[in-house]
Amino acid sequence: MEARQIKNSAHGATTRTVAQLGFALLLSFGIGVAHAQDTHPASASAKDVQAKLAYCEVCHGVSAQGFRGYYPIPRLAGQQPQYLENQLQAFVEHRRTNNIMFNVGHDLSPAMITALVTDFHELNPKPLGGAPKDLIPVGKKIFDEGIPAANVPACSSCHGPDGKGNGPFPRLAGQLNDYTISKLVNWTKERGQNPASPDTSAIMAPIAHSLTKPQIEAVAAYLSYLE
């Protein structure tokens, strides 16, 4: 009888211990889930989105129209949401090189990214311009017709006749000409850094390589004035 009581007592203690441990694990899991939800909320508040937009405009200019500083920072206004989402993810995964954007991308929740790219897409400030206007006719011809002899297709075939892009293909209209020149000239140094995970940037690689510097400058000039 005494042995059974000791056994039952031990069993009860073990049961309580397991129950307590289970409760502790459940509580810990619940806290973990709550923390994850706090880190990546289902939606971003209007206040937080406006604060982040203001933060972005410190570099990308008023109404995200682009900014010429130590080096050109691109226009984001009117950009295709899918393209922006893809590029932010490329920075996070280091498939596209930019030390500043590596950190910015990691700090954005999925909800914030969705809110930001939607807001950027709806902005439509006037282009900054500033490119040599005498290059516009040549740039327009390349944009509309391509360069068949160099196997360069018309830019408009992917980016649209008005240069406003579509889905994964970015808007080029109104982009800073010096930014466009820098990206095309240095394409493989910044894009496609992870060959095992190619994206739409792979489409542009042979095109960028086939364009001469004067041709790039002409196209960039033409695009910089498009609204």
Whole-model pTM: value is 0.78
At 102-143, the pLDDT tens digits run: 888 888 888 999 999 999 999 999 999 999 999 999 999 999
Share of the chain above pLDDT 90, in %: 61
Q: Residue range 55-72: average pLDDT? A: 94
- Tell me which residue has tokens 């400030």: 125
Q: Is residue 61 predicted with pLDDT exceeding 80? A: yes
Q: Alpha-carbon distance 215 to 176, whole Å?
A: 16
Q: Classify domain 46-224 at the CATH class level.
A: mainly alpha
Q: Are 87 and 74 in contact (CB under 8 A)?
A: no
**What does the angle CA 80 – CA 89 – CA 152 come to, to the nearest 5 degrees?**
55
| Buried b or exposed e, range 117-142, using 16+ CB within 10 angstroms | bebbbebebebbeebeeebbebbbeb
Give the per-residue pLDDT at 41.
55
At 171-212, the pLDDT tens digits run: 999 999 999 999 999 998 888 777 777 777 888 999 999 999
